Amino acid sequence: MRDFFPGLAGVPAAKSTISFVDGLKGILEYRGISIETLARQSSFTETAFLLLFNRLPTKPELTQFHADLTQHRRIKYKICDLLKCLPESGHPMDALQSAVAALGMFYPVADVTNESTRYWTAVRLIAKLPTIVAAFARVRRGDEPIVPRDDLSYAENFLYMLTEKIPEPALANIFDICLILHAEHTMNASTFSGLVTASTLADPYTVIASAIGTLEGPLHGGANEAVIHMLENIGSVEQVPAYLERTLGTKGKIMGFGHRIYKVKDPRAIILQDLVQQLDAHPDTNTLFTIARAVEQEMEKRIGQKGIRPNVDFYSGIIYHRMGIETDLFTPLFAISRVAGWLAHCFEQYQDNHLFRPDQIYEGPHNRPYQPLEGRTTLKNEEGKVRGKG
Ligand code: SDX
């Protein structure tokens, strides 16, 4: 009998030097540098350079990379028009995926192995995703997109394009740290999805569109949005035990908890929790945060021994909510950061490519007869309904 690993749990899909996770010790490193160090000392722009080029940039290199990203923040008016044609009630992740796939039509990539092409494709994607997210957030309300500014940092500019106000430096700094924390995480589902697409030698825009689609799901990047809805649904600290009793009792999932690799608290959740406390001089007045803390304490009592603890999505939404960012933009925020990690893995795949084509364990029938149409009868199930109909 051949071994089968549902969800490819524990099965190495690639060799990589980009990031490392120890799920028992709660360690996360980007190119060998700990996430705690990067959150304390780096910037998202510098971290993106580190992920893409496997080294920290020199001062001139960082200045040039920032200048290149700044120069490419604007999006073509046809991309804005495309966003205006999408349904206002559509999810911003679907708008982002549509716009990124369209972006690739304006910048066709002839040769994915060409180093210069790869550099400028990475610059355009890292620079333009925030502009696309902010633009859709505005056009769906009937407002014109706000033109990016060249005199603002990456984090300041995104918040400016969203709110038309230049954020306080402390707020922009906290947002920049959130971008660092979400930039990369070994072989997660969206990275794997991008790798499969890259292994066909599809261009990086198509690879990123694949990864964005995968990130959207509530078991992956969509969890940060689901956490806020859960905390609002719980409503008060007093309701936490009953909510957990009801949800866990019916085998439901508590959003923002659990991880395929971490069996301790996600090191990113530890930093994000601290950022909430930095944001709120009196965190106890932040209702969502006090409910979240109560959920964490109650979950530890109930299923902590199973290694189900807060992951990156548990506290991140509370920060974005506190910044006044709309909840359905939380997963797109994850995407504008993770595009750096997705691109690093995409380029690593191109370097030594093997098409992803796994096998399966077939459990179906063989040699079934073909019944002529006239002789077929509709099968009814126990309730007398035609089988196979909704
Ligand atoms: C991200 O992979 C990455 O690195 C992803 C990510 C990244 O940076 O890219 O870290 C970002 O996606 C974080 C995860 C965000 N998702 C959620 O918060 C959704 C809730 N979490 C669960 O759906 C779950 O924990 C997963 C999907 C994250 C991981 O699940 P696994 O490894 O597939 O494990 P499983 O679902 O089979 O659960 C194993 C057991 C089950 O109980 P038993 O059937 O064995 O009794 O643990 C239980 C599950 O019911 N369990 C949970 C739970 N997570 C697992 N029970 C309640 N609440 C949860 N959140």
Sheet with 19-22, strands from edge to edge, namely 19-22, 27-30, 33-34
- Angle of the 330-351 helix axis to the 169-181 helix axis, nearest 10: 40
> CA distances (Å), 269 to each of 245, 293, 340, in order?
24, 12, 20
pLDDT, residue 383, reads 73
Q: What is the 3-state secondary structure (H, E, C) of 260-288?
A: CCCCCCCHHHHHHHHHHHHHCCCHHHCHH
Is 264 a member of any domain? yes
pLDDT, residue 107, reads 95
Token output for 212: 């964005």
Is 192 a member of any domain? yes
CATH of the domain at 262: 1.10.230.10
Is 55 a member of any domain? yes
Is 56 a member of any domain? yes
- The domain of 273 spans 242-321
Residue 223 CB less than 6 A away from ligand 1: yes
Q: Is there a catalytic annotation at residue 313? A: yes
Cβ count within 10 A of residue 353: 15
Residue pair 155/185 in contact (Cβ under 8 Å)? The answer is no
The partner residues of 20 in beta bridges, in order of sequence, read 29
Name the residue with the closest Cα to ligand 1, atom 9. 188
The residue from 282, 302, 321 where one domain ends is 321
Cβ count within 10 A of residue 81: 10
266 and 300 belong to one structural domain = yes
The DSSP code sequence of 176-219 is HHHHHHTS--SS-HHHHHHHHHHTTT--HHHHHHHHHHHHTSTT
pLDDT, residue 183, reads 98
Q: Is the pLDDT of residue 390 over 70?
A: no
- How far apart are the CA of 381 and the centre of ligand 1, in A? 34
The residue from 321, 342, 361 where one domain ends is 321
201 and 281 belong to one structural domain = no
Is 339 a member of any domain? yes
- How far apart are the CA of 113 and the centre of ligand 1, in A? 36
Ramachandran angles phi, psi of 380, nearest 5°? -110, 145
204 and 279 belong to one structural domain = no
The DSSP code sequence of 226-253 is HHHHHHHHH-SGGGHHHHHHHHHHTT--
Alpha helices in 72-114 (DSSP H): 77-85, 92-106
Whole-number Å distance between alpha carbons of 208 and 214: 10
82 and 202 belong to one structural domain = yes
CATH of the domain at 110: 1.10.580.10
155 and 34 belong to one structural domain = yes
Residue 66 CB less than 6 A away from ligand 1: no
Residue 302 CB less than 6 A away from ligand 1: no
264 and 133 belong to one structural domain = no
Whole-number Å distance between alpha carbons of 198 and 123: 18
Residue 242 CB less than 6 A away from ligand 1: no
- How far apart are the CA of 264 and the centre of ligand 1, in A? 13
pLDDT, residue 1, reads 75
179 and 306 belong to one structural domain = no
Is 261 a member of any domain? yes
Residue pair 75/144 in contact (Cβ under 8 Å)? The answer is no
pLDDT in tens, 83-127: 999 999 999 999 999 999 999 999 999 899 899 999 999 999 999
pLDDT in tens, 359-375: 999 999 999 999 999 99
Q: Is the pLDDT of residue 6 over 90?
A: yes
Residue 299 CB less than 6 A away from ligand 1: no
337 and 198 belong to one structural domain = yes
Token output for 276: 């909430």
Is 248 a member of any domain? yes
- How far apart are the CA of 223 and the centre of ligand 1, in A? 10
213 and 194 belong to one structural domain = yes
Q: Is there a catalytic annotation at residue 259? A: yes
Alpha-carbon torsion 219, 181, 91, 86, what sign? Answer: negative
Kindly give the pairing relationship between strand 19-22 and strand 27-30. antiparallel
Torsion-angle region of residue 179: left (phi > 0), alpha (psi -120 to 50) or beta? alpha
Q: What's the domain count of the chain?
A: 2
Whole-number Å distance between alpha carbons of 104 and 79: 11
- Marked catalytic residue, from 203, 266, 313, 345: 313
Is 7 a member of any domain? no
pTM, full prediction: 0.96
Most ligand 1 atoms within 8 A of CB, residue of 8, 254, 257, 303 to mutate: 257
pLDDT, residue 282, reads 74
The partner residues of 30 in beta bridges, in order of sequence, read 19, 33
* Buried-exposed string 111-120: b where 16+ CB fall within 10 A, e elsewhere: ebeeeebbee
Closest CA to 340 of 220, 196, 190, 227: 190
127 and 176 belong to one structural domain = yes
Residue 263 CB less than 6 A away from ligand 1: no
57 and 199 belong to one structural domain = yes
Burial class of residue 252, CB neighbours in 10 A (0-12, 13-18, 19+): exposed
Measure CA 275 to chain center: 19
Average pLDDT over residues 70-75: 98
Name the residue with the closest Cα to ligand 1, atom 44. 251
pLDDT in tens, 304-333: 999 999 999 999 999 999 999 999 999 999
261 and 333 belong to one structural domain = no
Closest CA to 68 of 117, 12, 126, 25: 126
Q: How confident is the model at residue 388 (pLDDT cuts 50, 70, 90)?
A: low
Q: Is the pLDDT of residue 289 over 70?
A: yes
